[in-house]
């Protein structure tokens, strides 16, 4: 069980590293949000699963933490994307803007 724990924690650390690298390397805010959110979600899940294998008595708490992360990470990334869009910090290479036709009021984004 200890080896499985270390494997999951190593995978989680790798996801965190790649997420940070993606945030540094991506060209605009929307791509950075995607790289950071997906990688940190998978990294946190992997590390928490590794901790669950190391300490089976913590499994119930870890499941609650995983549920919280699964709910809060997408909400947080959509709020950042909405704030970026409302600040008119839109990348030049944006091909399709579905929200442009809604007019000047972007409160329903």
Q: Residue 103: its pLDDT value, please?
A: 59
Please give the structure tokens belonging to residue 88: 């008119």
The residue segments making up the domain with residue 56 are: 2-90
Please report whether residue 57 resides in a domain: yes
Please report whether residue 79 resides in a domain: yes
Please report whether residue 102 resides in a domain: no
Alpha-carbon span 52 to 8, nearest angstrom:
10
What's the pLDDT tens digit per position in 6-50? 999 999 999 999 999 998 998 888 888 888 898 999 999 999 999
Burial of 60 (0-12, 13-18, 19+ CB in 10 A): exposed
CA distances from 57 to 15, 49, 93 (A): 25, 12, 50
Please report whether residue 21 resides in a domain: yes
Total structural domains within the chain: 1
Q: Which of 52-56, 97-101, 103-107 has the highest mean pLDDT?
A: 52-56
Distance of CA 29 to the CA centre of its chain: 13
Please report whether residue 39 resides in a domain: yes
Please report whether residue 98 resides in a domain: no
């Amino acid at each position: 069980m200890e080896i499985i724990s270390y494997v999951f924690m190593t995978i989680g650390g790798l996801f965190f590293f790649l997420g940070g690298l993606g945030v540094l390397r991506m060209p605009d805010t929307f791509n950075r949000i995607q790289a950071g959110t997906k990688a940190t979600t998978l990294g946190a899940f992997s590390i928490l699963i590794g901790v669950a294998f190391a300490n089976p008595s913590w499994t119930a708490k870890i499941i609650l933490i995983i549920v919280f992360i699964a709910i809060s990470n997408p909400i947080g990334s959509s709020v950042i994307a909405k704030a970026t869009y409302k600040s008119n910090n839109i990348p030049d290479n944006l091909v399709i803007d579905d929200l442009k036709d809604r007019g000047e009021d972007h409160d329903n984004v």
